[in-house]
Structure 1
């Protein structure tokens, strides 16, 4: 008989409910509702008295297992430093993450306090400003955090070169000339970034695109989803917000301006870091394409077919930031 090993499994909601009851001191009866599946499985957890939590069950990704040990340590540090974030909830044993055995292997789980407040609005410049402010607070606090033992570093190897290799390995881009175009763009972006001599290194959120937050009743942006966090280029952490406002046909540059104003209200930005953020837009897009390329066998080739059409965006951005300069 063939061993039909699963690549990814969706667990019964009853099993998740029982698992949380066994590992966390949430007063029962506990109810669970799946919010989303994708790079991770995310569940809304409600206790007896209506208290709400979010449980994230990580998947294995091409980069390897989730670095929940460093992630939760960073979140605790941020919370203690007064940065508004979704704090992890300790287990009955006093740890901040658990391991769950799924059919495909061990997966890491973290329970977080559910955030109150509303989702940020795409047209609200105040929300963009608030996101910039919180990211600056995060970077300030990160200076007192030791990232020793972090599994991943958000450097060019992690963000650009490995994703580029995954694009080639996936076979999604069948046109050799199209892949060569992407390879050339990646190499030019890499050289441009390496030419900066004074880029700041910080512990990064890694996915601050403006919607991994909730706006609370005093207008703060409270951050969550630190799954892609790690020590890396501060310019990359800035660039993710810019990328979210210029990629996939979006042209909302005013949100970027407001974001930067909010950031600078708390923390200055070095000239090299600001200039490099514009180059890192290309790196961010390669990172995303690489992530999706590794999911072709799980999500299906149709779901990731958009990757083959992205050279035009990258070429256009490269021309604008090197020649015409929108900023």
Structure 2
């Protein structure tokens, strides 16, 4: 007989429905359908009165458990501060998240009201400006939030060094020269960021690439998906939007300009934070590579094999942006 030890299990939709109906005071029973399986499991839940909700079941990740306690506390703070975000819905007992046990271990669930509005468009400068404004409002509100007990700090250890180790340990990058390139780029990037010395620290969204939002009828970007957030570098939070404009073959910065102009209309950016954001593009890419590398056993080496080809992007970005500071 085979001895199974699952890395990741998918829950029956009926079990998700039962959990929501048991723990939340909604109008009538809900019916669910899975929207997404992967980094997290995401379900659309529809009540008997047509009300729509989103239930997110956190994935067990290499970083450790999902920090839903800090995340939901921050979202509640943002809602109370008037920042447009998808706020968590409390259970009958007033809790902002649930915890259950799958074959692979504990997993956490959060219920949100589904957002109205449309998906942002990649080439719409108005949508880029809306994202910049909401991120600035979020960072302003974050100044009055204390992330006591946060499980993760979005520092270089979390965003760069550990992901690089996951890439190395996964065996996906077989070429020793490519591994050496990645390590040298990471070392130079860390040294350059450390040299700033006075970068702004805030509570980060962590994944503000422009599409973790819905654009309301009023033109606001309403944010969701704070799963990768936490206390960290403001420059990193800015850089994710730029990274989305220049990675994986993209080369447009017009949306970045619109995003930054709108951000600055609400909140100033120090010269060091702006300059560091260019460096953090590399950090963001290595972080993503590390996330995928950590799932090689779950998703398969072919699914994550693109990681081995990404040194060229990092070298090109470094050379184009910082060639006068490399030597």
TM superposition score normalised by structure 1: 0.98
Deviation at 1:148, TM superposition (A): 1.2
| Equivalent residue, structure 2, for 1:193 | 193
- In 1, distance between residues paired with 2:227 and 2:55? 13
| Equivalent residue, structure 2, for 1:266 | 266
| Equivalent residue, structure 2, for 1:140 | 140
- In 1, distance between residues paired with 2:115 and 2:137? 18
Deviation at 1:39, TM superposition (A): 0.9
| Equivalent residue, structure 2, for 1:277 | 277
Deviation at 1:129, TM superposition (A): 0.4
| Equivalent residue, structure 1, for 2:113 | 113
| Equivalent residue, structure 2, for 1:301 | 301
Gap runs ≥5 in structure 1: none
Deviation at 1:197, TM superposition (A): 2.2
> In the alignment, is residue 66 of structure 1 matched against residue 70 of structure 2?
no
Deviation track 1:278-325 (CA, whole Å, cap 9, x = no partner) reads 000000000000000001111111100000000100000001110379
| Equivalent residue, structure 2, for 1:238 | 238
1:98-247 equivalences under 5 Å are 98-247=98-247
- In 1, distance between residues paired with 2:87 and 2:180? 44
Deviation track 1:206-231 (CA, whole Å, cap 9, x = no partner) reads 00000000000100000000000000
Deviation at 1:2, TM superposition (A): 4.8
> In the alignment, is residue 9 of structure 1 matched against residue 4 of structure 2?
no
Deviation track 1:252-295 (CA, whole Å, cap 9, x = no partner) reads 20000000011011000000000000000000000000000001
- In 1, distance between residues paired with 2:198 and 2:271? 9
Deviation track 1:161-217 (CA, whole Å, cap 9, x = no partner) reads 000000111000011111001000000000010010220000000000000000001
Deviation at 1:26, TM superposition (A): 1.6
Note the aligned Cα RMSD (angstroms).
1.0
Deviation at 1:251, TM superposition (A): 1.1
| Equivalent residue, structure 2, for 1:316 | 316
| Equivalent residue, structure 1, for 2:27 | 27
| Equivalent residue, structure 2, for 1:52 | 52
- In 1, distance between residues paired with 2:26 and 2:109? 15
Match of 1:272, SS state, is helix
